[in-house]
Amino acid sequence: MRRVMVIPVYYSRPKSEGHQDGDSVYDHPTPIDEDGTLKRTLESIRIIKNQDFQLVILISPTSEELTDRAKEKVNKILSEVNLDIQTFIFTPAELEKIKALAAEQDVDQSVIKLMNIRGYANVRNMCIYTAYILGAEMAMLIDDDELFEKEDFVDLASQYIGGRLYGKTIDGVAGYYLNKYGNYYDDVDIEPWMTYWDRFGFKGKAFDKIIGQEPRIKLTPFAFGGAMIIHRNLFKTVPFDPNVTRGEDIDYLINAKMFGFHFFLDRELSIKHLPPKKTHPVWKRFREDIYRFLYEKAKIDSQRDLPNMNKVTSHDFDPYPGNFLTNELEDMIFKANIMLAMDYLSNGDIESAKQTMNNIYLSKYDAMPKFNVFDAFIELQKDWKNLLSFTKQYMIDIRAIMDMAEFGYVKKYDKKSELVSMSRDEMEIILKSMDFFNNLEEDEIDTLAAIAKMKEYPENTFIGKANEKVVRMRIIYKGVVRIQKETLSGDSVDLAILEKGDYFGESFDKNFTSYVDIIAEEDCELIEIEHADLVSLIESQPMLGIRILQMLNAKLSLKLKTLNERYTLLSDRGSSIY
């Protein structure tokens, strides 16, 4: 299983300059002239035993003019930490190159707009987008203020994802945060004004119910954006919603459930969360909650019947966030803000009391979305599918952009596939070394060497595409090849992984077209023989032709036997054939 871990990191202007108009707003971005928490997080990765994954550091500066300095900073941190993991540093600069390619191909602006690295939901989308570019079957979303404490974290994250439980597919796995005291509760003090806004109380009940009780893995109404494992089938279909300004992780569960995907929480999958102290005043954080919950409630309320979609209710997410998505929400907002304003007044903070009272006004006249939230998300999801379709079509170019973002990048090859210059004698030696040809006589191998060619395919290039005519047979000499098919729903399913000695394209029907995509999983060298040359050879040397056909028939029988065994095994397990 190909895994990609993505860690977004947020950088702001130096503290002496402060926030400027037009800058993105985040909870606690790292001033560009300070150390921040990223190094601590990366150093903790060393504890993980299974390091069979790729790492993406996704930089989101509050202003794009900080991009170069932020990349230099991350480069320095990676040099000091010195992880033995293939790592990519993805910045707005790389994203601009992909957007330029999309513009050249006349991709719709609504699709290009999704390639955005500002704002929490957009950043999360770019996390799963970079995972898609790298061919991930699972994306591990981790935040830069966390510490790994479990050496089997990656194995735990991989254990259930993509499987089935209780008749449901496990499309997402939620881990959870441990605070500095080692427990899973929010590190907050409960205050009187929270009587009508008991968010942390309801979260505690939800945590006790889902995290605190057996079984180990169960359906969950909540998730944490910094401990979220998402299967390819899910992130290829469902994006994060950029219109929700906060709480994009829980909103993602709502979106996923609407499209028939399921999130489970794993009680074993914990990570230490040590965020910097929040600097925003309480009234401001409360305002952000008002906007997010009113938006999520509007999404649920505006649902309509659509094929292949599920209607969800607030009760599907009880006790949290479900209790903040009911018709009681407006009354809760009003009462809680009155009490908070009185708290401020009792402490002589008149300005904060005014801002708190303004929350009531904003909840009525500004926070309520002015558009159909559900319909807007449906259109967004279509744009997301179109973005991934464009990316798949131009994957060679986009992967080249990604490759150049690799930490310590050294150009290994031209992205184009090329024939290898090779003499007939050299080809004969290669053919003799392969088990595929061990039933042929030396003179017969010499004859084949005259019509065989060797071709190199760089990693992640297409060897063949669906609906293309198949005009040559290919045998793998070096590398690994992935056979992939697009389903009716637009998802890509891996059908097979082929290695040295495996072959494909053996049909001699001149009208035969492929129904699969064939992709170089890594740098490959393939022996290629044109069908026309093989047919001429069979006609001119019937005995050799019969031996070749017998050899192909034997290999085909083995393929069918293996496929039948896999089909039977999956059927016995009650698993999806895909």
Q: Label residue 576 by pLDDT band (50, 70, 90).
A: very low
The token duo for 291 is: 């906007």
Tell me the C-alpha distance between 1 and 21, whole Å: 44
The pLDDT of 201-219, averaged and rounded, is 95
Side by side, the strands of the sheet bearing 462-464 are 462-464, 517-520, 481-486, 492-498
Which of 376-385, 503-512, 544-553 reaches the highest mean pLDDT? 376-385
Dihedral pair phi/psi, residue 365, rounded to 5°: -120, -5
Query: What residues contact 273, with CB distance under 8 A and at least 6 apart?
Result: 143, 145, 146, 177, 178, 179, 224, 226
Residue predicted with more confidence, 372 or 553? 372
DSSP state, residue 469: B
Question: 356 with 375: CB under 8 angstroms?
Answer: no
Residue 288 has pLDDT above 90, yes or no: yes
Q: Kindly report, residue by residue over 424-474, the tens digit of the pLDDT.
A: 878 888 888 888 888 888 888 888 888 999 999 998 888 998 888 899 999
Query: What residues contact 271, with CB distance under 8 A and at least 6 apart?
Result: 142, 146, 147, 148, 149, 150, 153, 175, 176, 177, 178, 226, 227
Q: Label residue 414 by pLDDT band (50, 70, 90).
A: very low
Evaluated on CA atoms 474, 475, 479, 483, the torsion sign reads positive
Cis link prior to 215 (omega < 30° from 0)? yes
Element (H, E) at 556: helix 542-573
Give the SS3 label for residue 309: coil
CA 259 from chain center: how many Å? Answer: 17
- Write down the pLDDT at residue 194: 93
Amino acid at 175: G
- Computed over every residue of the chain, the mean pLDDT equals 90
Q: Kindly report, residue by residue over 66-116, the tens digit of the pLDDT.
A: 999 999 999 999 999 999 999 999 999 999 999 999 999 999 999 999 999
- Write down the pLDDT at residue 365: 94
Give percent of the chain above pLDDT 90.
67
Query: Helices (DSSP H) in 366-407: which residue ranges?
Result: 373-393, 395-404
- Write down the pLDDT at residue 413: 42
Residue 556 has pLDDT above 80, yes or no: no
Question: 301 with 375: CB under 8 angstroms?
Answer: no
Q: Would the pTM of this model clear 0.85, i.e. be above it?
A: no
- Cβ–Cβ contacts within 10 Å for residue 511, how many? 7
- Write down the pLDDT at residue 410: 52
- Write down the pLDDT at residue 198: 92
Dihedral pair phi/psi, residue 191, rounded to 5°: -120, 160
Which residues are paired to 14 by β-bridges?
none
User: 248 to each of 57, 195, 267, 429, 511, how far by Cα in Å?
Assistant: 19, 25, 22, 58, 49
Q: Label residue 478 by pLDDT band (50, 70, 90).
A: very high
- Write down the pLDDT at residue 245: 87
- Write down the pLDDT at residue 496: 85
- Write down the pLDDT at residue 577: 41
Q: Kindly report, residue by residue over 322-354, the tens digit of the pLDDT.
A: 999 999 999 999 999 999 999 999 999 999 999
The token duo for 306 is: 């659509």
Residue 415 has pLDDT above 80, yes or no: no
